[in-house]
Chains A and B, each alone.
Chain A
Amino acid sequence: QKEVEQDPGPLSVPEGAIVSLNCTYSNSAFQYFMWYRQYSRKGPELLMYTYSSGNKEDGRFTAQVDKSSKYISLFIRDSQPSDSATYLCAMSGGSSGDKLTFGTGTRLAVRP
């Protein structure tokens, strides 16, 4: 079993929809939770990170962390075709130190 599980998708939604992307993890020592966006043939781009449990909002993006359930989410409001990309969750902390452990990514397509 992988330390971080993420549904690979693809997830296809109409423009304007609310998108929910999720990851589960097994290492309770993880403290930092990141979301990256990766366009095709590009490097991952950091969207936001959260420390420990709670919510964080940045524009149309909201990250949620539930450490008790070992479950994190990224919500995208008013999704746009330009949001079409692969979304990667990543985590670090505890004995893993500075190492980021990534999920396999969810491919999102937003239809105009």
Chain B
Amino acid sequence: DTAVSQTPKYLVTQMGNDKSIKCEQNLGHDTMYWYKQDSKKFLKIMFSYNNKELIINETVPNRFSPKSPDKAHLNLHINSLELGDSAVYFCASSHQAGEPYEQYFGPGTRLTVT
């Protein structure tokens, strides 16, 4: 009964490939997020969706495209992967927009680009 789950947990791929990361939450939350944590452990928001609508879109290369098929799922597709994309990507969810203070994070997807 994991609250926020992500697949895959580890992803190793070569430069130039396209890959996707999936996220699902069973908390009944309306809002979901994607974060990137770099090698120095700095956690930075990338995107947020509220009930399938994009509400936060930080300065992220347009090679990154989020997609929310329903409010329980938020996927992240990355085109033309680069070495600098290597990081841990976390999905999170919160009850609803305007209540970001209780965000629940998934276990992370460790992406390594070679």
**Interface residues of A, Cβ cutoff 8 Å to B:** 32, 34, 36, 38, 41-46, 49, 51, 86, 88, 90, 92, 97-100, 102, 104-105
Contacts and interface: CB of A to CB of B under 8 A. Distances in A.
B98 A43 contact: no
Given A44-B90, A99-B45, A32 B40 contact: no
A104 B106 CA distance: 19
Interface of B: 4, 31, 40-45, 48, 55-56, 58, 90, 92, 94, 97-98, 100-108, 110
Contact of B100 (A38, A43, A99): A99
Contacts of B41: 38, 86, 104-105
Q: What are the 10 A-B residue pairs with the smallest beta carbon separation, nearest first?
A: A43-B105, A98-B100, A32-B101, A49-B101, A102-B43, A44-B105, A92-B100, A43-B107, A105-B41, A104-B42
